Amino acid sequence: MRFLVLTSLASLLTSVLGQSSSVDSYVASESPIAKAGLLANIGPSGAKSSGAKAGVVIASPSTTNPDYLYTWVRDSSLVFKTIIDQYTSGQDTSTRSLIDEFVSAEATLQQVTNPSGSVTTGGLGEPKFNIDETAFTGAWGRPQRDGPALRSTAIINYANWLIANDNSSWVTNNLWPIIKLDLDYVANNWNQSTYDLWEEVDSSSFFTTAVQHRALREGSTLATKIGQTSVVSGYNTQADNLLCFLESYWNPSGAYITANTGGGRSGKDANTVLASIHTFDPAAGCDATTFQPCSDKALSNLKVYVDSFRSIYGVNSDIASNAAVATGRYPEDVYYNGNPWYLATFAVAEQLYDSLIVWNAQGSLTVTSTSLPFFQQFLSSVTAGTYASSTSTFQTLITDIKTFADGFVAMNDKCTPSGGGLSEQYDKNTGSPISAADLTWSYASALTAFAARSGFASPGWGAQGLSVPATCSGSSGPTVAVTFNVQATTVLGENIYITGSVDALENWSPTSALLLSSANYPTWSITVNLPANTVIQYKYIRNNDGSITWESDPNNQITTPASGSFTVNDTWR
């Protein structure tokens, strides 16, 4: 085993800070292992995917503690996005038939009626299925609305390559019907609440919003290419609305991205780093509107996220405050007692490698007041400004940030067993692999981080030059007047607000939540026109001079009538 044992954590600092050659060695040895591990988990012929239909990705062969022998739409799409990127870039041209099997498998799963509904009544939001392509009917956190967006992104990448290689008719006849189902689902449901990618919080999720925005942008472009122009206006309109909503996750006082609008946690979450790398568009540079990896907001967020793990994991003890550490899902995590995840730690490295790709390509980097604390980790004297590649400041920062990025890979190296197998997590004190063995997503995350380290970036998706529209909307059609009354005792200077799962309730945004009237204190009231005949979730918020407290879980939920008015009477939880 090469996993870390807490016998000499001081020596870890030395190895992490001077690890370039060891990381080169790890990348060279782990790359083929990760690729083989990934392929072993794809049916029907993968070595560890017995029982899986053709093109079906198992999350892990683990069947107990935990049972991950299922196929998740999210995981499968991210895995095949990795495979498709390698295929379309010429890195591995042997996987064409496997990609076609994936497309066929996902087309089948789209049509499987499940607890979330049928293909026309919400079933595309179902997160996981049995590996024989039948519905999983047990209790679960559903719906999860990132799956359709990620699946369409993976298949669109394949479609664009086929078009470039004179296969447009095949795209139109075979891929577009699958892609359109997913994009229509995104366009029609993006402003409804969703479980996050960790399947724990039911609200709105930065990761989901970001990948939905990307999917509609590149879906609109593809539709134009193949003459399916009737959908373009609708996709573009909802993409604009998603971009508006995306901005609301930024927490200016904390200088980080709040991962979820609910859940009662700090919001510091790998969700945000994963969103940045999976919506990376090298043509967009360091655009902060779409939270590109090298944007000031994404870099500030990265520092806050990474720092939140420095003091809570034993494996991070005695490591300098500007050196790499192991990271997990979020600092409050209690799953398996809360540990580092391989994919989370690789994601940090990948965001930094993506940033280096852009800075080197444009020949400069810019430090703003927002990103200044991030850059000061490497050069304490740096000030806000733009630094050309010819300057010593640029060279120093680039070199030190590359070392920093390599440190996260080195940390995973230290906690990788001798055979190279990657589980889901490793123990926060000993570094020993735990939870699901051979997690397919872990292998994919290694491959994408290694690719970014080598300078590879997958094709852009249209993020360049986007701007937030002056006005945004999230719903249309008939509405009903809903009066919300909540009993809440407050202190001087404290007010009660409401936000929820639809545009009229500000799409779970704490910064633009609606103020209730205290005219009948301690009853706080507001009347809002909401979409008729719609399931709507909401929560109340206390705001005391900018300090926000969410009502406790679970979300409140109502179904609005088809017409007339409606009154809700609640008590603050």
Name the percent of the chain lying above pLDDT 90. 83
Query: What does residue 182 show for φ and ψ, rounded to 5 degrees?
Result: -70, -45
Contacts of 82 (CB under 8 A, 6+ apart): 38, 444, 447, 448
Q: What residues contact 74, with CB distance under 8 A and at least 6 apart?
A: 127, 144, 146, 147, 150, 197
* 225-245 tens-digit pLDDT: 999 999 999 999 999 999 998
Segment 150-189, tens digit of pLDDT: 999 999 999 999 999 999 999 999 999 999 999 999 999 9
- For the stretch 107-151, pLDDT in tens is 999 999 999 999 999 999 999 999 999 999 999 999 999 999 999
Q: What is the pLDDT of residues 283-325, one digit of tens each?
A: 999 999 999 999 999 999 999 999 999 999 999 999 999 999 9
- The CATH code for residues 479-571 is 2.60.40.10
Lowest-confidence pick of 90-99, 185-194, 345-354, 380-389: 185-194
What's residue 473's pLDDT? Answer: 65
Q: Where in the chain is the domain with CATH 2.60.40.10?
A: 479-571
- Residue among 92, 199, 494, 553 flagged as catalytic: 199
**What does the alpha-carbon distance between residue 70 and residue 147 come to, in Å, rounded to a whole number?**
15
Return d(Cα 452, Cα 506) in angstroms, integer.
Answer: 36
* Catalytic residue check, 199: yes
Q: What is the pLDDT of residues 215-228, one digit of tens each?
A: 999 999 999 999 99
CA dist 257 → 267, 293, 352, 519 (Å): 7, 13, 17, 34
Is the pTM value of this prediction over 0.85?
no
Binding residues for substrate: 140
- pLDDT in the model for residue 474: 55
C-alpha 217/C-alpha 177 separation (Å) is 17
Q: Where in the chain is the domain with CATH 1.50.10.10?
A: 71-240
Instruction: Give the domain 71-240 fold.
Output: Glycosyltransferase (1.50.10)
Q: How confident is the model at residue 553 (pLDDT cuts 50, 70, 90)?
A: confident
Binding residues: 140
196 is catalytic: yes
Per-residue pLDDT tens digits for 434-447: 999 999 999 999 99
| Confidence band for 327, pLDDT divided at 50, 70 and 90 | very high
pLDDT tens, 351-363? Answer: 999 999 999 999 9
Mean of pLDDT over the chain = 93
Q: Active-site residue among 30, 196, 296, 333? A: 196
Q: Are strands 494-500 and 535-544 parallel, antiparallel or unpaired?
A: antiparallel
